[in-house]
Structure 1
Amino acid sequence: MNTKYIDLINQTFDFPQEEFKLKNRALEFHGVNLMDLVETYGAPLKFTYLPQISNNINKAKQWFADAIKKNNYKANYSYCYCTKSSHFKHVLNEALKNDIHIETSSAFDIDIVENLKVQGKITDETFVICNGFKRAQYITNISRLINEGHKNCIPIIDNYEEIDLLSQEIDGEFNVGIRIASEEEPKFEFYTSRLGIGYKNIVPFYESQLKENNKINLKMLHFFINTGIRDNAYYWNELAKCLKVYTRLKKICPSLDSLNIGGGFPIKNSLAFDFDYAYMVDEIINQIKAVCEEEDVDVPNIFTEFGSFTVGESGGGIYEVLYQKQQNDREKWNMINSSFITTLPDTWAINKRFVMLPINRWDDSYERVLLGGLTCDSDDYYNSEQHMNAIYLPKYNKKKPLYIGFFNTGAYQETIGGYGGLQHCLIPSPKHILIDKDEDGNTTTQLFSEQQKSEDLLKILGYAN
């Protein structure tokens, strides 16, 4: 009778998979022995597998290169990394090895850009696409970057006042883009995104504020929808509306030559995940070309701003099951030695699901459980997987420690969780490990940060100097 956890996985999924394999009855992630990681650094811990950042960047670049060649598309493609997904230096250093560009969203992002320029990681040729609602300091920092010679910095106009504010602080000519305020899916509580300018208002806005302004060149139209790039009627309908605006604008604005389709590539959230990236890219390029040919305008250069796709699949976390509580005749609670609210805030904030697998004991029998965090908060739990309304793990045995991993957690979790600051119920942030490959392909690990100590939290709270 097939009662082992490995039997459950083999019956449910195609396994092993590209990044997940078993070796000596323990889970490997991209060839990294995770039990070795636990034995070396302990748990809980977070890790970043840096090579996956480059892997995903180069996959996307190849998909676009193939689609451009297949469709005989006569323009260029530029990959931008959306820094708000993870601002860490080790992430940017890895991403920038791959001839990419940067998308920013706030004033302090520009300080990071200037730091990267000093280090020689980026140059004046690197595109810096400045999104977001721009308050005074963001305007000032963008203007400083452009005034110091970074002509490939393109602020994306989000509201009608930003043109005047930028013009007051930037010396000489500069380039801008305009963000389209897309219409949201019907299930949303509002009809139109708060970001950008409405479809119907963009051409009048150009004609009234930009057309006769010799200081400003409109170079880019920016399009992004909150649900990301999906093969559904909603996405294709919004893209078609965007292309109508682009072609109308291009006919009266010769300087316009670029279309930014934003980000939104999904990342793997289950062993059953299936998404045809190459098909989506090919269809996007095909539709852009078809509309431009129909309207007799040149096809635009294509920009993307992939954030989660760039960094998400590089991250993971490992926890130990401390104890099991049987609260009634059906519910078994496996208590982990950390908190979901503090280390994986998206699991409770937006009910996001990540790939979750045990690290060890795959040959043991399994049971259905709920996972609970350490905080005294009813929302600190994880109760189902993306592919089923349940969690199955090797049976709890207090004499045989069980470690579990959450994977593809590299985007947003640190910043949303308040990295380095206070955590709910003063649960400390776990240690963070960087994993890389040396020139010979051997795995290397480095401790990036220790687990928070009591004195760190007491200092923030004002109890210690």
Structure 2
Amino acid sequence: ALKEAFGVYKKLRAVHPALDTIDMGGGFAIPYGKKRLYSADAISRRIVQTLKQLADDAGISHPNIIVEWGRYLVAPAQITVFKIVSAKEVSKGLARFWYVVDGSFMNDLLDTWALHQKWHVVPVNKIDAKKKNRVWLAGLSCDSDDKYTAKDGYLTLPRLEDLDHGEDLYVAIFDTGAYQDAFASHHCLLSSPLKIVLQNGIVTIARKRETAEEIGKLFGW
């Protein structure tokens, strides 16, 4: 594909000698499953080396290179954290329990429903628990599509009965910084979550969790 793009660039440059840039566009995949089969550095070096060689062979100056890897850059900038507020036993299925989170996948992580996006999910606490349950995650809305059943058909998370007295279980979902906030809604009148920014060791509250009164005002009530 890169050689084909350079071929087009060379033909255009013959007509417009001032042309000096190749835009590679976007589409650089994110390793949501944390199985890093390649790196941006390695791909970038390969692109530069290939284009330099093609330009040298064609006897023209090396082009400037632009990439539009927005999703790859911003996805790791956000982690979504949910609290497990309830559990329900599953009578039949790969999972043994539904764990209900204090939010909504259809509100907060819409790609879960729209694209069946698979995320890297880990427990925040009790991460070293020896005994775990096979679970599905469900959102708070009344919609049957408000769920996450994971890549392998279930997640393995700590058992709620093993939590200390007064302790809640939290789960972290990685790489949610691309598009999820932009697509977020108030499906079933659920609130937007608390948003905090951690930078250089400083924690700042960027947005408080919405109250019922604030949501009502959004809809003119």
What is the TM-score with the length of structure 1 in the denominator? 0.44
Q: Which residue of 1 aligns with 2:148?
A: 382
**1:266 Cα offset (Å):** 2.8
- AA aligned to 2:180 is Q
2 CA distance for matches of 1:323 and 1:362? 19
Are 2:67 and 1:304 aligned?
Answer: yes
2:179 pairs with one of 391, 394, 412? 412
1:363/1:278 CA distance change after superposition, 3 Å: closer
1:282/1:352 CA distance change after superposition, 3 Å: same
Query: Gapped runs of 5+ residues in structure 2?
Result: none
Contact 1:261 1:303 in 2 (8 A): yes
Are 2:94 and 1:336 aligned?
Answer: no
2:160 pairs with one of 396, 401, 418? 396
**1:291 Cα offset (Å):** 2.5
Among all aligned residue pairs of Structure 1 and Structure 2, give the percentage whose two residues are the same amino acid.
29
**1:349 Cα offset (Å):** 0.9
Q: Which residue of 2 aligns with 1:453?
A: 211
Indicate the SS of the match to 1:370.
Answer: strand
1 CA distance for matches of 2:114 and 2:91? 27
Contact 2:22 2:65 in 1 (8 A): yes
Q: Which residue of 1 aligns with 2:90?
A: 327
Question: CA RMSD for the aligned pairs?
Answer: 1.8
Indicate the SS of the match to 2:68.
Answer: strand
Contact 1:268 1:355 in 2 (8 A): no
2 CA distance for matches of 1:321 and 1:289? 53
2 CA distance for matches of 1:312 and 1:287? 28
- AA aligned to 2:196 is I
What is the aligned length? 215
Q: Which residue of 2 aligns with 1:119?
A: none
Contact 1:366 1:395 in 2 (8 A): yes
- AA aligned to 1:350 is L
Indicate the SS of the match to 1:446.
Answer: strand
Q: Which residue of 1 aligns with 2:128?
A: 363
Instruction: Give deviations 1:433-455, integer Å, cap 9, x for gaps.
Output: 01111xxxxx1101111111222
Mean CA deviation greater in 321-330 or 287-296: 287-296
Contact 1:320 1:336 in 2 (8 A): yes
Contact 1:371 1:382 in 2 (8 A): yes
1:444 pairs with one of 202, 210, 215? 202
**1:361 Cα offset (Å):** 1.0
Instruction: Give deviations 1:245-294, integer Å, cap 9, x for gaps.
Output: 10001112111111111233333312333323333222212222232233
Indicate the SS of the match to 2:79.
Answer: strand
Indicate the SS of the match to 1:335.
Answer: strand
**1:407 Cα offset (Å):** 1.3
- AA aligned to 2:181 is E
Indicate the SS of the match to 1:305.
Answer: coil
2 CA distance for matches of 1:339 and 1:378? 11
- AA aligned to 1:373 is G
Are 2:24 and 1:261 aligned?
Answer: yes
Contact 1:250 1:297 in 2 (8 A): no
Are 2:105 and 1:347 aligned?
Answer: no
- AA aligned to 1:448 is A
1 CA distance for matches of 2:128 and 2:184? 34
2 CA distance for matches of 1:240 and 1:271? 30
1 CA distance for matches of 2:142 and 2:4? 48
Q: How does 1:111-126 map to 2 (within 5 A)?
A: none
- AA aligned to 2:211 is K
Contact 1:315 1:408 in 2 (8 A): yes
Contact 1:359 1:403 in 2 (8 A): yes
Q: Which residue of 2 aligns with 1:252?
A: 15
2 CA distance for matches of 1:380 and 1:273? 29
Q: Which residue of 2 aligns with 1:63?
A: none
Indicate the SS of the match to 1:455.
Answer: helix
1:271/1:256 CA distance change after superposition, 3 Å: closer
Contact 1:434 1:448 in 2 (8 A): yes
2 CA distance for matches of 1:286 and 1:248? 20
Contact 1:313 1:410 in 2 (8 A): yes
Contact 2:107 2:184 in 1 (8 A): yes
Which structure is higher in helix share?
1
Divergent runs of 4+, >6 A: none
1:254/1:363 CA distance change after superposition, 3 Å: closer
What is the TM-score with the length of structure 2 in the denominator? 0.89
Larger radius of gyration: 1
Contact 2:103 2:190 in 1 (8 A): yes
Q: Which residue of 2 aligns with 1:428?
A: 191
Instruction: Give deviations 1:17-62, integer Å, cap 9, x for gaps.
Output: xxxxxxxxxxxxxxxxxxxxxxxxxxxxxxxxxxxxxxxxxxxxxx
Q: How does 1:282-297 map to 2 (within 5 A)?
A: 282-297=45-60
Contact 2:119 2:150 in 1 (8 A): no
